[in-house]
């Protein structure tokens, strides 16, 4: 990661800096393993602290709203003044947050730990997404998929690690994961060196490639549609990541450890979908992927509330694959709409994802307390119908061809 790559217009695929992309993907894995520990701890924390569902939702909201509010601000600032070594600093915040979660003695300290992890996420996502794009060699969908799949694998591994390490050993065993944060800081420091060297060699180039110019109204409408689609997608994902363990425990009587394994099925499927979404989008267009991912998942979400245990496992895996394939395409689509604002767009959409999921987690927790956890999945099953709004997105392929 010590070399740099010169960009002239759209970089050819042969110049893709895979070592850099894989490094930030690996750190994304570490970052999201540590983030997912919070949700994986919920059944234990609920029993140990006597928490209600709304308090579980508030923990999720504290983490995700912190990240949501700060990510666009950080992304906008670093578009103007890039900070290569901020990535290692953000991982340090996550490390401290883990220690609070491990040794908290009261609910307020759990909230503080969740907030610090959210702050680390707010720093990590915009800048690491920018690094992935700079290193992409023009294969933006592939780079976003590789970057994002690290996070998906991390989110999937988190519940398993919690089931087999944290659940049997107790809350303070979370402190061991601070070693992973320390390793991430070292890798990100090296990435920061590459990033600084890249900037020195390429001046003010942002890695945006050849700009695609569309009418302002078209851009605004498209960004609103992408925002709504992200909203619908992450509300549904929040219903699974925050409450699926409770759902399968209550409906099918499985153990806490089994519930974590079942959550892994969904999160593992989401990792597979993320890997596929970006490269497919590079070939067939991001809009096609968004159509398939958002609207195409509707039959499976409608069937889920009425499925037995076997089909619940199958359906959650399929939903994870199909639904997750949209996010790399959404991010790349938005970055093409607003050239030169890679950090801002990454911050808005990663932050939006966190924020919407955080608000949804809190609201869905209240609904679960009032109506029951099974009602949550019936209500959420209709959200993918919003995928019909994809028809309002412009076809970017003619504009991309003209720009090239």
Using an 8 Å Cβ cutoff, are 96 and 59 in contact? no
Residue 315: pLDDT band (50, 70, 90) is very high
Quick check: 299 pLDDT over 90? yes
Compute the average pLDDT of residues 126-150: 84
Phi, psi of 35 (to 5 degrees): -65, -45
Q: Is 396 helix (H, G, I), strand (E, B) or coil?
A: coil
The answer to the question of residue 6 being in a domain is no
The answer to the question of residue 4 being in a domain is no
Compute the average pLDDT of residues 70-89: 85
Count of the separate structural domains present in the chain: 1
- Per-residue model confidence as pLDDT tens digits over 275-298: 888 788 777 878 888 888 888 899
Q: Write down the number of H helices and E strands in the chain.
A: 17, 0
Determine how many CB atoms are found less than 10 A away from the CB of residue 233: 26
Determine how many CB atoms are found less than 10 A away from the CB of residue 241: 24
Token pair belonging to 144: 């976003």
Q: DSSP characters for 8-74?
A: -SSPPGGG--HHHHHHHHHHHHHHHHHHHHHHHTHHHHHHHHT--HHHHHHHHHHHHHHHHHHHHHH
Q: Is 2 helix (H, G, I), strand (E, B) or coil?
A: coil
What one-character DSSP code corresponds to residue 209? -
The answer to the question of residue 9 being in a domain is no
End-to-end CA distance of the chain: 28
**Domain containing residue 363: CATH number:** 1.20.1250.20
Q: Using CA atoms, how far apart are residues 90 and 184, in angstroms rounded to an integer? A: 10
The answer to the question of residue 396 being in a domain is yes
Compute the average pLDDT of residues 127-141: 83
The answer to the question of residue 339 being in a domain is yes
Q: What is the pLDDT of residue 208?
A: 47
- Please give the mean pLDDT across all residues of the chain: 82
Quick check: 131 pLDDT over 50? yes
Q: Using CA atoms, how far apart are residues 90 and 122, in angstroms rounded to an integer? A: 8
Q: Using CA atoms, how far apart are residues 30 and 339, in angstroms rounded to an integer? A: 29
The answer to the question of residue 286 being in a domain is yes
- The residues, ordered by sequence, that sit 6+ positions from 85 with a Cβ below 8 Å of its Cβ are 189, 192, 196
The answer to the question of residue 7 being in a domain is no
- Per-residue model confidence as pLDDT tens digits over 39-67: 777 878 888 888 888 888 788 778 877 87
Token pair belonging to 118: 């959210």
Q: Is 254 helix (H, G, I), strand (E, B) or coil?
A: coil
The more confidently predicted of residues 137 and 262 is 262
Quick check: 12 pLDDT over 50? no
Share of residues in the chain with pLDDT > 90 (%):
25
Determine how many CB atoms are found less than 10 A away from the CB of residue 133: 26
Please give the angle made by the CA atoms of 351, 354 and 328, to the nearest 5 degrees. Answer: 70
Determine how many CB atoms are found less than 10 A away from the CB of residue 342: 27
Closest CA to 180 of 274, 268, 97, 67: 97
Quick check: 196 pLDDT over 70? yes
Quick check: 23 pLDDT over 80? yes
Buried/exposed 183-204: b ≥16 CB within 10 Å, e otherwise: ebbebbeebbebbeebbeebee
Using an 8 Å Cβ cutoff, are 338 and 344 in contact? yes
Q: What is the pLDDT of residue 185?
A: 94
Domain residues for 282? Answer: 15-403
Residue 2: pLDDT band (50, 70, 90) is very low
Lowest-confidence region among 28-32, 44-48, 64-68, 207-211: 207-211
The answer to the question of residue 1 being in a domain is no
């Amino acid at each position: 990661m010590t070399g740099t790559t010169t960009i002239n217009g759209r970089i050819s695929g042969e110049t893709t800096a895979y070592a850099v992309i894989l490094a930030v993907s690996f750190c994304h894995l570490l970052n999201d393993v540590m983030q997912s520990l919070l949700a994986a701890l919920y059944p234990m924390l609920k029993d140990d602290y006597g928490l209600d569902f709304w308090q579980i939702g508030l923990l999720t909201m504290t983490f995700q709203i912190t990240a949501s509010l700060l990510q666009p601000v950080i992304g906008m600032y670093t578009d103007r003044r890039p900070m290569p070594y901020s990535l290692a600093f953000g991982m340090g915040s996550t490390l401290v947050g883990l220690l609070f979660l491990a040794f908290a003695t009261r609910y307020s300290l759990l909230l503080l730990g969740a907030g610090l992890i959210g702050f680390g996420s707010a720093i990590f996502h915009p800048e690491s997404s920018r690094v992935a794009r700079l290193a992409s060699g023009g294969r933006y969908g592939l780079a976003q998929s590789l970057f994002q799949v690290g996070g998906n694998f991390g989110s999937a591994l988190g519940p398993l690690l919690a089931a087999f390490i944290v659940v049997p050993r107790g809350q303070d065993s979370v402190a061991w994961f601070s070693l992973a944060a320390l390793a991430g800081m070292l890798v990100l420091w090296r990435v920061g060196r590459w990033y600084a060297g890249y900037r020195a060699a390429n001046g003010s180039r942002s890695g945006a490639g050849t700009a695609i110019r569309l009418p302002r109204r078209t851009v605004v409408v498209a960004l609103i549609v992408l925002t709504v689609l992200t909203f619908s997608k992450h509300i549904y994902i929040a219903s699974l990541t925050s409450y699926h363990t409770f759902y399968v425990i209550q409906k099918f009587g499985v153990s806490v450890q089994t519930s974590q394994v079942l959550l892994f099925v969904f999160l593992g499927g989401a990792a597979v979908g993320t890997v596929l979404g970006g490269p497919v989008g590079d070939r067939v267009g991001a809009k096609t992927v968004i159509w398939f991912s958002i609207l195409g998942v509707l039959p499976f979400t409608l069937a889920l509330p009425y499925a037995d245990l076997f089909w619940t496992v199958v359906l959650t895996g399929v939903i994870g694959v199909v639904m997750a394939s949209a996010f790399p395409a959404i991010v790349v689509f938005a970055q093409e709409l607003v050239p030169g604002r890679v950090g801002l767009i990454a911050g808005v959409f990663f932050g939006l994802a966190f924020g919407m999921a955080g608000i949804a987690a809190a609201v869905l927790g209240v609904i679960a307390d009032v109506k029951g956890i099974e009602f949550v999945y019936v209500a959420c099953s209709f959200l993918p119908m919003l995928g019909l709004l994809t028809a309002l997105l412009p076809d970017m392929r003619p504009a991309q061809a003209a720009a090239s």
